[in-house]
Structure 1
Amino acid sequence: MSIGRTLEGAGCVTWWGFSPARDLLCTGSGKQQGVVNVLLVGSGDSRHILKTIAGLSNTDTLHVWMIESSMEVVARQLLLLFLALTPQESLGLHEKTEVFLEVFGNSEVRSQTLEMLRHVASQLSLLVTETLEKAAHPCLDTTHLRFKERDELDRIFKQWIHPPLPARSAPVSIAKAWDGRVRQHLGTRYDSRMGCFDWDLTMKLHQKGCGVINKQQYVRWRERGVAFEMREGIYQMANESLLSTRVFNHRGDKVAVRGYWGDIVSSPYISFGIETDDEKLLKKQNGQHIKTAQDISYVNVQALFQSLSRRGGTPPAPQSGSEEGKALVALEPPSQPEAHRKAHIGELMNLDGVSVNFLPLDSLPKLAEKQKYSHFFNSIYCAASMVHHLGPMLRQIAAPKATLVVELAKYLLDLTKEQEAGFAEKVCDIVKEAGFEPSLEDSDVCATFTLQK
């Protein structure tokens, strides 16, 4: 799918996905077990990785292989995974969940969150520059990237620590960048933007089953780019990890512009905030949801972090809903992130049998040429923005009876129903040519296929 005026609202950089987190080993004919290799193409965030790890048994081994569309997105993936792997001794479970969601979905964050972001950036800079042939951490492997890609990552991390001069006016710069995108997207409708925001929420997202997305929170995000405000604090420091460079043609010359080029319509609530196994979080009162997508995102992400802690050997903290948890919350003062000991690369949790490997940006069509990846991947996931990269080479890299999951266009709000249906048909045509057949699972969010013999 080409990114043009039709998808201006979705942006050209996938900071978060357009489908909820899913366990990629529980998709298809049955749960995959043992040693499993999963390929993620353009997932945009770590939601599927965290969800899949949470579903692993102690005897399973999971190797995740990632291909993204830009190094800015790779940098963000490393940032989010670093936060997820930070042990509770360094960052408490509640604070960790809040910091993760702030960095994940807010254009502006608290000062202490920005301090944490810069610390992580300094650690990641060391990870990509000092690692040559052996990964600095068992769970995060960047050794497959080219040297020029690692240099680009290092440049990005250093920009987060010391923003380039035009961005030093933050938060004004990111506020202007966000507002500029909104103005460009809405055009003459900008002055009546509140009505546009309400229409997109009630007539699109709510109609698509996202009733838990609260109007006040969604409008705040559409207006300012701040999706998660979970405590009283000042959210005004620029989230440098959401800024990237886009090249424009201007009078025959190429001009690089640093700004916000991600989604401004669908929202980061889709990834963690619209599905839950806890029916209590979906209860309604007088026809209105009691809990919001922000509440559900918090609960889901915290549960994922608890699963990581169990696999990483750190006992999980009591849940806030339990009697023990309520007692601890009552006794403990509000967490102060600046008082926490900041974790270093070597202190991150080691999830036994789990590794995340980053591959070069252009490696997808080349995997079939390498013997190592011949019939290698048990599960393959492809985001909607990367479907045009799929082709017959999938048959060569997919293991027998492999599962292919392709994100559909349901939550790309600028598309019509006809365009959504056309996209789904295009996906079927591409994967059938590669030897995959639709599975019995019926979903308008992601299409699932199985490799035929």
Structure 2
Amino acid sequence: MTELDFSLGESNWWGFSPWHEFESSKNILLIGSGDIRHIILHASKQKQGKIYVLETKMDIYARQILLLNLLLSDKFEAQEKAEMYLEIYGNICVSEKSAQYIRKSAKKFDKLIGARESIQPFNFSRMKEKDMDALQNIFKRWSSESIPLDEADLCWEKRVRTLLGDRYESREGVSEGDFLQAYAPRGGAELHRKQYVNWRTTGQAFSVSNEEEAEGNSTLLLSISSKPCFSGDIVTGPFLSNGIDIKTVYSIQNEEPDVEMFTKLTIERLKSAIENIDLEKIKFSVHFLCPKYLDKKDFTSLDINSCWVGVCLTHVLQDIKLKGDMEILTETPTFILQAKYSLQLLESFQLKVEKMVEASGFQLDPENKFNKTYYLRFAK
């Protein structure tokens, strides 16, 4: 496994680009988005249509269900939803309140999925029975699991030690260097340097609660041989998804004095999006696809207007089958920090994707150029 592969991990818990508004689309296919950022923005604009979701692991589906259910709940105010969302979404350890929410929600979904009952706005009709059983087992585990803090911390430490090797004792300096030389220049300067370094060294991305950390975050920790294991990204982080301002220019002389300012801004963006969702009349539905679709690459049975593909799954575009006139949006490797950033890298990626989709009749949008752009757009 290369250093790049190890830094990304095997589980795509979050995205490598900001949320995107699909301007004219009604039905959307999201391949490898990792999280629900696009769904949140879609819902906040009170748009209609079907959102098809395709991921590599059932654990990712389970997280998406639990987090979207939180945002659509009528039991919490928008501020509380936003704070709990960020804690569960990005922190390796969570407060007792969030841990209890995970267990309580997981118990509900275990029961509903086990009985194959309807769960709005989700649709599982394109899942196989074994997929549904696997999904139920994940919720069953979450409903009773309580991971001690020291075990969760050890999961993070092991990953960082393996990645850095002899540089582990200098991990804060390595992380700061990555921020100054890669993260900020690529469009992540709104995030505070110290917040990024803290996440890289501890696994705690957002400080959102006055409550102390109580236990490990079950939704981020897989169970491998009955032991918790963190298998996600440990270099880019869960900071990009919810509307980061990519135009911010970093200057260490004029650095924001409030280390938590980015978290506050993210909460406000999420809060605004949540408040714009009409809970009385949900206009969209989320359809989960069987992971086997990744092998078949045939989506002609889906009536979709836009197809969005995460950077880690762009290989799916090779010989992809889509119906009708539509657009394809591909996430670029801009925020894969372990990839040496250059215009040549981006041009190489662009040519690679162009070659993949040309057989299906798609061409690059001539207006879509690399200039703080994190998507490529192709259309027929």
> One fold, TM greater than 0.5?
yes
Which of 359, 362, 367 is residue 433 of structure 1 equivalent to?
Answer: 359
Q: How many residues align?
A: 373
What's 1:99 paired with? 84
Indicate conservation of the 8 Å contact 1:21/1:51, yes or no: yes
What's 1:6 paired with? 4
One-letter amino acid matched to 1:48: H
What's 2:272 paired with? 303
Which of 49, 57, 71 is residue 39 of structure 2 equivalent to?
Answer: 49
Q: CA deviation at 1:285?
A: 11
Indicate conservation of the 8 Å contact 2:190/2:250, yes or no: no
Deviation digits for residues 239-259 of structure 1 (CA, Å, limit 9, x no counterpart): 00001256xxxxxxxx89740
One-letter amino acid matched to 1:100: Y
* SS across alignment from 1:269: coil
Question: CA distance change for structure 1 residues 421 and 193 in 2, over 3 Å: closer, same or farther?
Answer: farther
* SS across alignment from 1:441: coil
Which of 105, 117, 129 is residue 114 of structure 2 equivalent to?
Answer: 129
Whole-angstrom distance in 2 between the partners of 1:305 and 1:241? 22
What's 2:376 paired with? 447
Q: CA deviation at 1:215?
A: 1.9
Whole-angstrom distance in 1 between the partners of 2:378 and 2:91? 34
One-letter amino acid matched to 2:119: A
Q: CA deviation at 1:153?
A: 0.9
Q: CA deviation at 1:220?
A: 1.4
One-letter amino acid matched to 1:12: E
Whole-angstrom distance in 2 between the partners of 1:233 and 1:299? 20
2:183 corresponds to 1:214: no
What's 1:200 paired with? 178
Q: CA deviation at 1:398?
A: 3.4
Indicate conservation of the 8 Å contact 2:90/2:205, yes or no: yes
Structure 2: give runs of 5+ residues left out of the alignment. none
Question: CA distance change for structure 1 residues 187 and 367 in 2, over 3 Å: closer, same or farther?
Answer: closer
Question: CA distance change for structure 1 residues 405 and 101 in 2, over 3 Å: closer, same or farther?
Answer: same
Question: CA distance change for structure 1 residues 385 and 144 in 2, over 3 Å: closer, same or farther?
Answer: same
Which of 158, 170, 182 is residue 160 of structure 2 equivalent to?
Answer: 182
2:317 corresponds to 1:390: yes
Deviation digits for residues 63-98 of structure 1 (CA, Å, limit 9, x no counterpart): 0011111011111111111111111xx112211111
Whole-angstrom distance in 1 between the partners of 2:105 and 2:62? 11
Deviation digits for residues 208-255 of structure 1 (CA, Å, limit 9, x no counterpart): 121111122111111111111123220241100001256xxxxxxxx8
Deviation digits for residues 99-139 of structure 1 (CA, Å, limit 9, x no counterpart): 0110000011110110011111112212322226xx332x1
Indicate the RMSD between aligned Cα atoms, in angstroms.
2.4
What's 2:279 paired with? 312
Whole-angstrom distance in 2 between the partners of 1:410 and 1:7? 16
Q: CA deviation at 1:268?
A: 0.5
2:134 corresponds to 1:152: yes
* SS across alignment from 2:333: coil
* SS across alignment from 1:208: helix
Whole-angstrom distance in 1 between the partners of 2:170 and 2:250? 32
Percentage of identical aligned residues: 26
2:54 corresponds to 1:67: yes
Structure 1: give runs of 5+ residues left out of the alignment. 247-254, 314-349
2:304 corresponds to 1:377: yes
Q: CA deviation at 1:55?
A: 2.5
Q: CA deviation at 1:8?
A: 1.4
Question: CA distance change for structure 1 residues 369 and 74 in 2, over 3 Å: closer, same or farther?
Answer: closer
What's 2:335 paired with? 411
Question: CA distance change for structure 1 residues 68 and 169 in 2, over 3 Å: closer, same or farther?
Answer: closer
What's 2:213 paired with? 235
Q: CA deviation at 1:273?
A: 5.2
